[in-house]
Amino acid sequence: MLKVGITGGIGSGKSTVAHIFETLGIPVYYADDAAKKLMNGDERLKQQVQQLFGDAAYTDGQLNRPFVAEQVFNNPEKLTMLNAIVHPATIADAEKWMQQQTAPYAIKEAALIFESGAQENLDKVIGVFAPKGIRIKRVMERDGITRDEVMLRMNKQINETIKMRLCNYVITNNEQELLIPQVLAVHQALLALQNA
Ligand code: ATP
């Protein structure tokens, strides 16, 4: 079975594209949701997070998300340290999940694939590309936040053009080109690879 990643910048439409693959019967692992669950459920990871941020990181056994977010927001070193414990745990969990799938291929959707080294466990990576202006508008509407707040998040991610060059397939989600035919073309290409 092929292991495939889907990545792209904030608001590019990764989840939207992943949902279309799901309608084709392809199982999808959503790394962000999984990481949140692991931070509440994986005892080893919980201990590591607690070591990094202190007891205030958890309230009644549940991650105190606003506290942790505040700790890392303007502290790149702390964010790097947090990623250094969360990413390997999520990569290992995704790997375990992949082993259990029986479809021709399975997808891992994650914003940070190349940044976390997750591509080493994947056979192919699909990039979802959307122009910056559209991504800003989408995230402002989806999350009810200001343009400046979106820009702050966006500026922490690596350049979109560079990221797309690292991908094996690119799906353009610019509200002009249709998504479903592009997803179908990649789906067919992956099925052909799997059968080769
Ligand atoms: P993030 O990295 O922030 O999780 P994402 O890349 O997963 O974002 P989505 O959540 O799929 O992006 O899309 C961002 C928002 O834009 C969502 O509200 C989604 O419904 C909307 N959106 C995405 N693609 C389209 C499209 N082609 N047409 C209209 N709305 C879209």
Domain layout of the chain by residue ranges: 1-27+103-196, 32-100
Tell me how far the alpha carbon of residue 155 lies from the centroid of ligand 1, in angstroms. 18
pLDDT range class, residue 115, cuts 50, 70, 90 = confident
Question: What tens digit of pLDDT does each residue of 122-167 get?
Answer: 999 999 999 999 999 999 999 999 999 999 888 878 888 899 999 9
Q: Which residue's CA is the nearest one to ligand 1's atom 13?
A: 13
- pLDDT value at residue 116: 85
Given CA atoms 125, 96, 30, 75 in this order, what sign does their dihedral have?
Answer: negative
Question: What tens digit of pLDDT does each residue of 65-105 get?
Answer: 999 999 998 898 999 999 999 999 999 999 999 999 999 99
Question: What tens digit of pLDDT does each residue of 30-58 get?
Answer: 999 999 999 999 999 999 999 999 999 99
Global pTM value: 0.92
Q: Is 175 in the pocket of ligand 1 (CB under 6 A)?
A: yes
Top-level class of domain 32-100:
alpha beta
Q: 72, 90, 95, 91: which is closest to 82 by C-alpha?
A: 72
At residue 176, what is the residue type?
Answer: Q
Q: 182, 173, 167: which is closest to 6 by C-alpha?
A: 167
- pLDDT value at residue 8: 95
- pLDDT value at residue 73: 82
Element (H, E) at 86: helix 76-100
Burial of 36 (0-12, 13-18, 19+ CB in 10 A): middle
Please give the average per-residue pLDDT across 172-193, as a whole number.
97
Which of 6, 7, 15, when mutated, tests ligand 1's pocket best, judged by the most ligand atoms within 8 Å of its CB? 15
**In 113-195, which residue ranges form alpha helices assigned H by DSSP?**
132-143, 147-154, 160-165, 179-195
- pLDDT value at residue 131: 93
Fold of 1-27+103-196: Rossmann fold (3.40.50)
Do 1-27+103-196 and 32-100 come out as alike in CATH topology? Answer: yes
Average pLDDT value for the chain: 94
Residue listed under structure tokens 């941020």? 53
Query: CA dihedral in degrees (78, 82, 85, 89; nearest 10)?
Result: -170
